[in-house]
Amino acid sequence: MAMGVVLGINAVFHDPAAALVIDGAVVAAAEEERFTRRKHGKEPVPFSTWELPVEAARWCLAQAGMGAGDVDAIAYSYHPRLAAAAAGDLTADGWEDLRTLYVRRAPLFLGAALPGLDPQRVRFVPHHVAHAASAYLAAPCETSAVLVVDGRGECTSHLAGRVVDGHLQTLAMQRLPHSLGLLYESLTDHLGFRRASDEYKVMALASYGEPRWLDALRRVVRTDGGGGFVVEPIEWTTFAPRRHADDAWGAPHADLAASVQARLEEMLLSLARWLHARTGNGHLAFAGGVALNCVANARLQREGPYETIWIPPAAGDAGTALGAALFVAQQDGDRIHHLRTSALGRGWDEGALAAAILGARLPHERPARLADAVADVLARDGIVAWFQGRSEYGPRALGHRSLFADPRRAANVERLNVVKGRERFQPVAPMALLEDAADIFDGPLPSPYMLFTHRVRPEWRRRIPAVVHVDGSARVQTVDRHAEPLLAALLEAFARRTGVPVLVNTSFNTAGRPMVDDPRDALECFGSAPIDALVLGPFLLRRAACWSVAA
């Protein structure tokens, strides 16, 4: 049995990240933004392709007690040979050649950034193979079909395949410029949001609109009968005026979002049915940035041909660091271990947390019954920042770097959106114990990574208004009490006080910032936002009485 150390790197488009796989098991994975505090790590432009997830990579190695010289292979989630042939002009085609040149130089950049690393050991993994591997190799269940849908890789935007004897067999790929992910990104930009970042806002806005341009979109966005699709150029202003970041949105914007969202869902259903017809089995592994669209995922589960759909928590480009590493580890003969958690980032022991609190000279307690003490604050309508264990890999806070609130009060959506500087129309999500979830929510369960929306059962809608979106849906995270005993204790303590076994859970960060990662980020965020209590491991810090700052 081969035993190897593989460092995975995503650096090409956005969300640079690193992952470390040892003997087929992931030991660390993190996004660069959590270290540099720059949301999404870098600008999504060709000039930034040289920027590597250096801090994330260094930390992954340190976490394993290794140096760069110990790495057997570096798996880089993009293959320059698959990119369009060089035009001889670095500026041509949106600087595409510059991107490819930087990728070719990546081994040297990596060797310079991580002294001791052997540039010869860098292996390029096709972008969509890396996405696919992040799903079919990491899935904790048997999967037979694999679907990847994103903005773009080297020259494609989609992959459909199947797993044969543990290995990927590709059945269809869609070449650029046709891209469902780029279609959605382009709409995101037209609606005044940040491209390759705020697509989830478009998804939320869609719930406020009617898909009245669905027929028009069906004519220009359509499948080709061979597992691929066509996306013709679309002039968005035909449907709704361009919105700028600070403008109010109107019905045409919401209707356009609803129309594109509906067409995306139909397209995913068609692609999934085509794939199912060729593979027959009922288990799908799904990844790529589009797989973060939890409304579409829920419809795919509800109306599509698959019994189970497994999506990795880092389904976007950050996850290709792990996918590429798993793929290379398997190539080298390692048996791949399934993913058990998204908590693959940094963690601190009690002593380090105490030192951070003492360093800030903040009053704190160490309650004997932490869950009860925190539930008291929540039941009295406090907002609690919760920092426990290792941070999450992927865009969702799953109870390790979370903000919690009482779901019984609708006004808490607005309170949290103020803390986070989010749009008012954005929903916040519920967290519930797995055994309680089916009584309250209708949809795919378990849902440990918050990648599907659920219908809130009618009898619960008025009891937990803060987590019910305008269309009656909620994006639930289910908590397995064996995997997350402290979260389970908190949910139970809150239920004992309120009769409601649900908490509002949103990511612990303020406007425009990545999720907090280290204790200092947490203290800074607590110090600058209207959060009532901060929990750092076993310690509880309460907001002091408020003095007026008026002159």
Kindly state the smallest distance separating residue 275's Cβ from Fe ion, in Å: 18
Task: Report the length, in residues, of the chain.
Answer: 551
Residues 253-282 that bind Fe ion (CB under 5 A): none
Q: Which stretch binds Fe ion (CB under 5 A): 95-103, 113-121, 312-320, 367-375?
A: 312-320
Q: Of 5 and 138, which CB lies nearer to Fe ion in the complex structure?
A: 138
Question: Quick one: 208 exposed, middle or buried, by C-beta within 10 A (0-12, 13-18, 19+)?
Answer: middle
| CA distance linking residue 504 with residue 450, whole number of Å | 13
Q: Which stretch binds Fe ion (CB under 5 A): 144-152, 183-191, 210-218, 384-392?
A: 144-152
Phi and psi angles of residue 64, each rounded to the nearest 5 degrees, phi first: -95, 5
Kindly state the smallest distance separating residue 12's Cβ from Fe ion, in Å: 9
Rule CB under 5 A: choose which of 15, 55, 97, 150 binds Fe ion. 150
Tokens of 390: 């290792």
Strands (E), 492-550: 502-507, 533-536, 539-542
Residues 460-499 that bind Fe ion (CB under 5 A): none
Q: Which of 154, 194, 161 is nearest to 176 (CA)?
A: 154
Q: Of 317 and 517, which CB lies nearer to Fe ion in the complex structure?
A: 317
Kindly state the smallest distance separating residue 364's Cβ from Fe ion, in Å: 42
Q: Which of 14, 128, 178, 190 is catalytic?
A: 14
Q: Of 256 and 328, which CB lies nearer to Fe ion in the complex structure?
A: 328
**Does residue 482 carry a catalytic annotation?**
no
Q: Of 102 and 526, which CB lies nearer to Fe ion in the complex structure?
A: 102
Q: Which stretch binds Fe ion (CB under 5 A): 88-96, 309-317, 337-345, 497-505?
A: 309-317
| CA distance linking residue 309 with residue 280, whole number of Å | 14
Strands (E), 186-318: 221-223, 229-231, 283-287, 308-310
Q: What is the DSSP letter of 1?
A: -
Please tell me the number of Cα atoms within 13 Å of 537 on its side-chain side.
16
Q: Which stretch binds Fe ion (CB under 5 A): 36-44, 143-151, 369-377, 519-527?
A: 143-151
Q: Of 150 and 406, which CB lies nearer to Fe ion in the complex structure?
A: 150
Q: What is the DSSP letter of 365?
A: B
Tokens of 72: 């057997």
Residues 344-383 that bind Fe ion (CB under 5 A): none
Quickly list H helices, 37-126.
54-63, 92-113
Q: Of 181 and 347, which CB lies nearer to Fe ion in the complex structure?
A: 181
SS3 133: helix
Residues touching Fe ion: how many (CB under 5 A)?
2
| CA distance linking residue 7 with residue 391, whole number of Å | 19
Q: Which stretch binds Fe ion (CB under 5 A): 101-109, 142-150, 306-314, 385-393?
A: 142-150
**For Fe ion, which residue has the nearest CB?**
150
| CA distance linking residue 296 with residue 352, whole number of Å | 42
Please tell me the number of Cα atoms within 13 Å of 254 on its side-chain side.
13
Q: Of 179 and 259, which CB lies nearer to Fe ion in the complex structure?
A: 179
Q: Which of 317, 270, 273 is nearest to 292 (CA)?
A: 317
Kindly state the smallest distance separating residue 149's Cβ from Fe ion, in Å: 9
Kindly state the smallest distance separating residue 394's Cβ from Fe ion, in Å: 13
Q: Which residues contact 313 (CB under 8 A, 6 or more apart)?
A: 319, 339, 342, 392, 393, 394, 396, 398, 449, 451
Report how far apart the first and last C-alpha atoms of the chain are (Å, whole number): 71
Sign of CA dihedral 285, 288, 293, 299: negative
| CA distance linking residue 285 with residue 161, whole number of Å | 10
Q: Of 30 and 318, which CB lies nearer to Fe ion in the complex structure?
A: 318
Residues 315-334 that bind Fe ion (CB under 5 A): 317
Kindly state the smallest distance separating residue 75's Cβ from Fe ion, in Å: 15
Question: Quick one: 392 exposed, middle or buried, by C-beta within 10 A (0-12, 13-18, 19+)?
Answer: buried
Binding to Fe ion by residue 185, rule CB under 5 A? no
| CA distance linking residue 379 with residue 370, whole number of Å | 14
Kindly state the smallest distance separating residue 288's Cβ from Fe ion, in Å: 5
Kindly state the smallest distance separating residue 112's Cβ from Fe ion, in Å: 26
Catalytic residues, by residue number, are 14
Interface residues toward Fe ion, by CB under 5 A? 150, 317
